[in-house]
């Protein structure tokens, strides 16, 4: 621990989703890294797109329109916003989990960063900002696909983009917090164990009303369900005060995750 590091106060308030001036250097580094590995950055976008093209379009004629709050909606238009939410989640989580673990425990990139004027909080905020950027890029690309396919029918759909950034911040912050407790690559099996059921059951492909009452209550507590409800409401123009609960849920995830991440990264890097 150097005198420079001990003199920096602990900043736990997550005002850095847009990045502090120094934490943006971490974002800049990630941009330069992905300039030579852009195919890795782009590849994560295709999974939800393939789901849209295969399941959404494939089942559209078989399922027919669905009733969503009294409005008949084509099945593909029902699925598309939920897959946009999934894109934001995937984009943020990849850097917040696997990449962060590699930099923290394997390549020791963060230890090298501490030799610069950056402190651990700058590192944490920079990585969180980058995970939000990546999630936002995935969601924006998916939004453009939705527009080309004719699923953007209202100006309200533009609210999908800030909603996606909120989802990316929520999942990125919690993903980083969880990663700081990981001891080996095998621990990431637990991440997959949580994500796959959440993806399949969070009203992504069919209404939550198809579940029995007790399972509906469980599903509604999951973060991806909150993101799906928010995205679908924006896309279909079904804006009502209940969506504020989803916003509050995701914002609380982002804040709590950022606080834990800031403390854990400082503890791990300065111990």
Burial readout 123-134 (b: 16 or more C-beta within 10 A, e: otherwise): bbbbbbbbbbbb
* Distance in angstroms (rounded) separating the CA atoms of residues 268 and 121: 11
Which of 270, 267, 261, 271 is closest to 13 using CA atoms? 261
Query: How confident is the model over 16-74, as pLDDT tens digits?
Result: 444 467 888 898 888 888 777 666 666 666 777 787 777 767 777 778 788 787 778 88
Query: How confident is the model over 162-204, as pLDDT tens digits?
Result: 999 999 999 999 999 999 999 999 888 888 888 999 998 998 9
CA dihedral 265, 102, 44, 179 (to 10 degrees): -40
Quick check: 149 pLDDT over 90? no
Q: With bands split at pLDDT 50, 70 and 90, how would you rate the model's confidence at 9?
A: very low
Which of 101, 190, 87, 205 is closest to 138 using CA atoms? 87
- Position 17 scores a pLDDT of 41
Least confident of 8-22, 53-67, 127-141: 8-22
Which of 245, 222, 265 is closest to 85 using CA atoms? 222
Which of 116, 105, 139, 141 is closest to 29 using CA atoms? 116
Average pLDDT, integer, range 256-263: 94
* Distance in angstroms (rounded) separating the CA atoms of residues 120 and 139: 29
- Position 38 scores a pLDDT of 67
* Distance in angstroms (rounded) separating the CA atoms of residues 83 and 157: 14
- Position 44 scores a pLDDT of 65
Q: Is 81 buried (19+), middle (13-18) or exposed (0-12) by CB count in 10 A?
A: buried
Share of the chain above pLDDT 70, in %: 89
Output the six-digit token pair for 149.
């396919």
* Distance in angstroms (rounded) separating the CA atoms of residues 62 and 58: 8
């Amino acid at each position: 621990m150097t005198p420079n590091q001990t003199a920096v106060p602990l900043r736990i308030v997550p005002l850095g989703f847009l990045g502090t001036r120094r934490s943006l250097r971490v974002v800049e580094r990630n941009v330069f890294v992905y300039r030579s590995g852009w195919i890795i950055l782009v590849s994560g976008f295709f999974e939800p797109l393939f789901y849209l093209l295969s399941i959404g379009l494939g089942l559209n004629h078989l399922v027919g329109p669905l009733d969503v709050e009294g409005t008949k909606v084509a099945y593909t238009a029902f699925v598309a916003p939920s897959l946009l939410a999934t894109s934001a989640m995937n984009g943020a989580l990849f850097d917040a989990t696997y990449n962060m673990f590699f930099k923290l425990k394997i390549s020791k990139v963060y230890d090298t960063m501490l030799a610069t004027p950056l402190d651990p909080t700058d590192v944490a905020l920079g990585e969180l900002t980058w995970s939000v950027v990546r999630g936002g890029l995935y969601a924006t690309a998916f939004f453009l696909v939705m527009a080309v396919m004719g699923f953007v029918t209202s100006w309200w759909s533009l609210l999908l983009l800030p909603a996606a950034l909120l989802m990316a911040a929520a999942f990125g912050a919690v993903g980083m917090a969880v990663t700081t407790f990981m001891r080996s690559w095998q621990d990431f099996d637990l991440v997959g164990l949580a994500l796959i059921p959440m993806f399949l059951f969070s009203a992504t492909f069919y209404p939550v009303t198809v579940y029995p009452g007790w399972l509906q209550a469980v599903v509604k507590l999951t973060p991806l369900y909150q993101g799906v409800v928010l995205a679908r409401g924006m896309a279909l123009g079904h804006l009502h005060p209940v969506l504020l609960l989803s916003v509050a849920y995701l914002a609380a995830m982002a804040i709590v995750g950022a606080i834990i991440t800031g403390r854990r990264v400082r503890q791990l890097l300065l111990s």
